[in-house]
Amino acid sequence: MASSPETTSPALPPGVKKTAPAPPPSGLHGIVAIPMITAAKQFTRSLWRPSTIVYPYERLEDPSFRGRVAVASGRPIGVGEVWDNYRGVHALNITTCISCNLCAFSCPDTCIEMVSVPTEGGKTKRCPQIDYGKCSFCGFCSDACPEGCLTMTTNYTLTTSRRPEMVYSPQRMYSIYHSKLPMNPIRLERPENEDCILLDQDLCIGCNACARDCPTQCITMIDIPKPEPAPGQKLPKRIWKEPSVNDADCVRCGTCISVCPKECLYWGARP
């Protein structure tokens, strides 16, 4: 033989010999008897308890399933938990929400809408409202949330027969937050070389819009010296202030960039 299987298959690591697959069983024994016996074994094994559960009436979280079902992580499912990083319905802590809009911005399904929520003192603030008819449970919103106030719980029973009930208001997600369901771990660490807000000083007119709308109030307007105009030169018409961003408090929401009327703020590498 000119070529044997060992020499013609380069994918095999050295020292491993390719063995020919066993020929399929043939004859009445192989074609009829073995499959019939296999089916009968499966039938008797399944008679007492099939692998499937009767879902609405039985759930994997039920105590009778404790330790029975191994998930991909190798851990058995215990009582009251599904997976520790299961992405179920959201929980929202309204009190820590800073209305930064990052969740709605990061949502690929555009299912998050920022709606007004009354807070203490007669004021309102804008918090996310989620339409679960559109949500794909990707978890980008909770990853993007800089304050860790929007997280996902392990509750997966969202069944309803009416479409309006699929829209969860911030208050409803706040009550889910209070029900102390197991939640996804909140990740607040940020990359080292993160972009920050930079200012083009020639374009700025000192209008205060960025400082007014910053959810973390990390922008302060500082006075800048009014230059002496050269003869024949006209000074630009502006307020002689410019924003100063406290980079430690900034959550990178980009609100200041979007509200700037002169497009003088931009993302850039930290100087």
Partner 1 sequence: MSATLYDVAYWISSHLLGALGGLPASSLPGAWGVGATALAWLITAAVVFAASLVNILVLIWWERKLLGRFMDRRGAMHVGFAGLLQNLADGLKLFRKQVFSPREADPLGYYLAPTAYLITSIVLLGFLPVSAGFVAGAVPLSLLLALAIFSFAPLFIFVGSWSSNNKYSLIGGMRTAAQMVAYEIPLLLSVVSVVILSGSFDLGTIVQDQARDGWYGAPLILGLIVFSVAILAEIERIPFDLPEAEAELVEGWNTEYGGILFAMTMMTDYIRSLVGSYLVVLLFLGGWTLPTWGGLGILSSFPLSGILWFQVKTYIVFGVFVWVRAALPRVRTDQLLQIGWRRMLPLSLLNIAIAAGWVLAGWPHLTWPSV
| Site residues, partner 1 (CB under 8 A) | 31-32, 35-36, 38-40, 42-43, 45-47, 50-52, 54
**98 touches 216 (CB < 8 A):** yes
If one counts every other C-beta atom within 10 angstroms of the C-beta of residue 105, the result is 17
In the bound complex, what is the minimum distance in angstroms from residue 49's beta carbon to partner 1?
Answer: 10
In the bound complex, what is the minimum distance in angstroms from residue 86's beta carbon to partner 1?
Answer: 24
In the bound complex, what is the minimum distance in angstroms from residue 43's beta carbon to partner 1?
Answer: 5
In the bound complex, what is the minimum distance in angstroms from residue 156's beta carbon to partner 1?
Answer: 20
In the bound complex, what is the minimum distance in angstroms from residue 65's beta carbon to partner 1?
Answer: 16
Of 33 and 239, nearer to partner 1 (C-beta) is 33
In the bound complex, what is the minimum distance in angstroms from residue 27's beta carbon to partner 1?
Answer: 12
Of 43 and 230, nearer to partner 1 (C-beta) is 43
Of 44 and 157, nearer to partner 1 (C-beta) is 44
CB half-sphere exposure, 3, CA atoms < 13 A: 5
Of 48 and 269, nearer to partner 1 (C-beta) is 48
Reference 93, options 179, 157, 217; nearest CA is 179
Of 18 and 45, nearer to partner 1 (C-beta) is 45
Of 3 and 51, nearer to partner 1 (C-beta) is 51
If one counts every other C-beta atom within 10 angstroms of the C-beta of residue 224, the result is 14
Of 32 and 79, nearer to partner 1 (C-beta) is 32
Of 13 and 50, nearer to partner 1 (C-beta) is 50
Reference 181, options 271, 61, 74, 65; nearest CA is 61
In the bound complex, what is the minimum distance in angstroms from residue 36's beta carbon to partner 1?
Answer: 5
In the bound complex, what is the minimum distance in angstroms from residue 214's beta carbon to partner 1?
Answer: 55
